[in-house]
Amino acid sequence: MKYIFILGRNPDLSVQEIFSYLKIQDNKINEYFVKQNALLIDLEKPLKKNIIDNFGGVIAIGKVFSYGKLKNVFEELDKRELYLGSKNNFNYVVWNFGEYYEDISNYLRVRFRSEKLKTTEKKLTGFIESQSGEKLKNVLSKLINCSYFCFEEKSICYFGKLVEFCDYKSLEKRDMGKPVRRESLSISPRLAKIMINLSGAKNDEVILDGFCGIGAILQEALLLKKRVVGIDLDRDAIKGARKNLEWLGVSKQKYVLKNEDSSDVKISPAAVFVSEPDFGKTLKKIVTLEMAKKMQRRFEGLMICVLNNVKRNIKRRFVFTAPFIRIGKKRVGCDIDSILNKTGLSLVDNFPIDEFRKNQIVGRQIFVLKK
Rounded Cα gap, residues 45 and 74, in angstroms:
25
Residue 137 pLDDT class (50, 70, 90 cuts): low
Where are the strands (E) in 186-289, listed by range? 206-209, 227-231, 255-258, 272-275
Statement: residue 6 has pLDDT above 80: yes
| pLDDT value, residue 281 | 85
| pLDDT value, residue 48 | 93
If you ran DSSP here, which 8-state letter would residue 361 be given?
S
Go through the domains of the chain in sequence order and give each one's CATH number: 2-166 (3.30.2130.30), 174-370 (3.40.50.150)
Lowest mean pLDDT among 52-56, 136-140, 277-281, 297-301: 136-140
Statement: residue 220 has pLDDT above 70: yes
pLDDT digits over 59-98, tens only? 999 999 999 999 999 999 999 999 988 888 999 999 999 9
Q: How many CB atoms lie within 10 A of CB 230?
A: 28
pLDDT digits over 305-338, tens only? 999 999 999 999 999 999 999 998 899 999 999 9
Taking alpha carbons only, the member of 208, 200, 250 closest to residue 229 is: 208
| pLDDT value, residue 101 | 95
Query: Is the Cβ–Cβ distance between 10 and 129 less than 8 Å?
Result: no
| pLDDT value, residue 140 | 57
| pLDDT value, residue 296 | 97
Contacts of 303 (CB under 8 A, 6+ apart): 277, 320, 322, 334, 339
Query: Is the Cβ–Cβ distance between 43 and 28 less than 8 Å?
Result: yes
pLDDT digits over 104-114, tens only? 999 999 999 99
